[in-house]
Amino acid sequence: MAQTEAVNDSALREEALGVFEAIPQKMTAIKQTEENPDGVPLTAEKIELGKLLFFDPRMSSSQLISCQTCHNVGMGGTDALPTSIGHGWQKGPRNSPTMLNAIFNAAQFWDGRAGDLAEQAKGPVQAGVEMSNTPEVVVQTLNSMPEYVDAFKAAFPGEADPVTFDNFAAAIEQFEATLITPNSAFDRYLAGDDAAMDDQEKRGLQAFIETGCTACHYGVNFGGQDYHPFGLIAKPGAEVLPAGDKGRYEISQTADDEYVFRAAPLRNAALTAPYFHSGVVWDLAEAVKIMSSAQIGTELSDQQAEDITAFLGALTGEQPIIDHPILPMRTDTTPLPAPM
């Protein structure tokens, strides 16, 4: 589309509605299925407990690292590092994905090894390169603080022993389900506001659709639904696609899964540099060009790349405003921090 060509908003919107969905204004339930269309309701008690746990560094063995450390809700849900720093100052193997809108992903982690956010919440706690803790010590820590015991009883009423690692994860999942970013310029455009996006952003949306980006990046989260080989047409260089990280192959041990990763969600992409699982690309326009060449075999013009990059900026939604909670006080029975 030429830069001066007028955009047909009605036609473009209709085309976009066939591929994408808007972020909802509010989440009231999760895990809806055909068998259980009502899903699991979000409750204020679970959300508030999950918020405490998300921000509490005492869930790590060093008592220095929390979920918030690597998924900073004030920085697009990431830590803005190529790969995160964990226990013992170890560098993690992959870039930390954003937790904003993660509730809309079909699975969690770059390789999709966690089926939902509750399962995901258990992983970093136990990973030696991240929080390096154990479920037993987490439960011991929580039981040592009466405020936490009361909060678990309120969040999981009727359970004889509500302070469990499963409930720990379920509460975090409920809090993270509230970390959504509605009302982006694109969502307002999708709802009928022609003026919500400027002409360049509209050209970028058109190019995003026409060049085939929607083969991987579709739905409410512009990705996060399926798995694709990184380098479907041409593999990028080793600095972008490290040879030692074979993606889903490490989970399935199936040759077809070598260098296969979950399609990255693109909501708030302008806030979440650096890009890719290797975290080596800091410029969004460069990331757009790499993906176009590697995944769909298209060499974008500079104008197309600029337009698509501008459109991706229109996917930045209203960021969640989260007050840092006052955490329960430790007691004499709370485990001491382990050396980093």
The question of whether 130 is a catalytic residue gets the answer yes
Residue whose C-alpha is closest to residue 104's, from 156, 188, 210, 27: 27
* The one catalytic residue among 130, 176, 201, 306: 130
Residue type (1 letter), 162: P
Contact 96, 108 (CB under 8 A): no
Active site residues: 130
